[in-house]
Amino acid sequence: MKARHLLTTIGMAALMLSSGAAYAQSKMTIGFSQVGSESGWRAAETKVSKIEADKRGVDLKISDAQQKQENQIRAVRSFIAQGVDGIFIAPVVSTGWDAVLKEAKDAKIPVVLLDRSIDTKDESLYLTAVTSDTVYEGKVAGEWLAKETGGKCNVVELQGTVGSSPAINRKKGFDQVMAANPGMKIIRTQSGDFTRTKGKEVMESFIKAEGGGKNICAVYAHNDDMAIGAIQAIKEAGLKPGKDIKVVSIDAVPDIFKAMADGEANVTVELTPNMAGPALDALMAFKKDGTVPKKWIQTESKVYTPETAKAEYDRRKDLY
């Protein structure tokens, strides 16, 4: 009797182990090559990606590239070697992807681009890209400023990471508005690499070069973190951000809503941190029955001004 009980127990344990193994096998594994942690928005995207993966029972392996493309290429090759079910890439820069994407394609591993696009002649190298319209973001920020200043404004620009698609496109969109408004001019432009520290440093140099800031009507920052850095530089120069120098940026992170509520920033354009949700849905549907998603899954870009800043800050502060 004892022996039979032991055998039953062993049998059940074996069954549990094998069904566990089957579960482990059926659980989808996705490798995500993330840019780094350069901004509040980026940290939020990483957090939301984990939440979205957990919701769907997906094992998401995140590799932090520390803003370097070579680290991303290494991570993608390692994901291919591990035989993951899919790969997400938030590409640091837009060029230089064809070779490694071809390796993923040859290994039959679908790739989804998150929040940044790439330059390639062969779109079959990736399944889909989940991004906003980054040219529109720059354009709508410029249009707000043109309206606010009656089309007369000396702007200093803090660009994002050199060679990244949002830096290229946010500049392009904003420049379109400058071209249509002869009274508006970008008097200085430089990269602040999407970070708060560099945004502050570059703004300090702009202020110094422009009569202590007196010649500057507005700062256009390609993301909120650089805008926050610029706000600090403006304050330290004895000027009032949001008033003496208007502050225009992109992302819609809680800190910029706080600055807007305090009267120190003027407008931001939202970039949702939830790129992984739509990316996972597209990839899972593709894996399940071959459903091919649209090549571009576009996320919304909403403009926010100080009127709703306090409420938006309260709504978002714990989400990030």
Considering only 14-22, 35-43, 120-128, 293-301, which stretch makes contact with ligand AHR by CB under 6 A?
Answer: 35-43
> Considering the rule CB under 6 A, would residue 312 count as an interface residue with ligand AHR?
no
> Considering the rule CB under 6 A, would residue 41 count as an interface residue with ligand AHR?
yes
The Cα 22–Cα 289 span in angstroms is 20
Neighbour-count burial of 61, counting CB atoms closer than 10 A to its CB (0-12 exposed, 13-18 middle, 19+ buried)? middle
Give buried/exposed letters for 29-51 (b at 16+ CB in 10 A, else e).
bbbbbbbbebbbbbbbbbebbee
Of 114 and 237, the one with the shorter C-beta distance to ligand AHR is 114
What mask of x and - would describe binding to ligand AHR in positions 220 to 259, judged by CB under 6 A? ---x-x------------------------xx--------
Considering only 18-26, 39-47, 151-159, 180-188, which stretch makes contact with ligand AHR by CB under 6 A?
Answer: 39-47
> Considering the rule CB under 6 A, would residue 42 count as an interface residue with ligand AHR?
yes
Running DSSP on this structure, what letter comes out for residue 307?
A: G
Among 86, 110, 142, 166, binds ligand AHR (CB under 6 A): 166
Number of residues forming the site for ligand AHR (CB under 6 A): 13
Considering only 24-32, 33-41, 183-191, 196-204, which stretch makes contact with ligand AHR by CB under 6 A?
Answer: 33-41
> Considering the rule CB under 6 A, would residue 204 count as an interface residue with ligand AHR?
no
Neighbour-count burial of 284, counting CB atoms closer than 10 A to its CB (0-12 exposed, 13-18 middle, 19+ buried)? middle
Among 151, 86, 39, 65, which Cα is nearest to 288's?
86
The Cα 169–Cα 251 span in angstroms is 14
The DSSP line for 164-177 is -HHHHHHHHHHHHH
What SS3 class is residue 154? strand
What SS3 class is residue 188? strand
> Considering the rule CB under 6 A, would residue 139 count as an interface residue with ligand AHR?
no
Of 52 and 213, the one with the shorter C-beta distance to ligand AHR is 52
* Helix-, strand-, coil-residue percentages of the chain, each rounded to 5: 50, 20, 30
Of 216 and 256, the one with the shorter C-beta distance to ligand AHR is 256
Considering only 36-44, 48-56, 104-112, 183-191, which stretch makes contact with ligand AHR by CB under 6 A?
Answer: 36-44
What mask of x and - would describe binding to ligand AHR in positions 60 to 99, judged by CB under 6 A? ----------------------------------------
Contact set with ligand AHR (CB under 6 A):
38-39, 41-42, 115-116, 166, 194, 223, 225, 250-251, 271
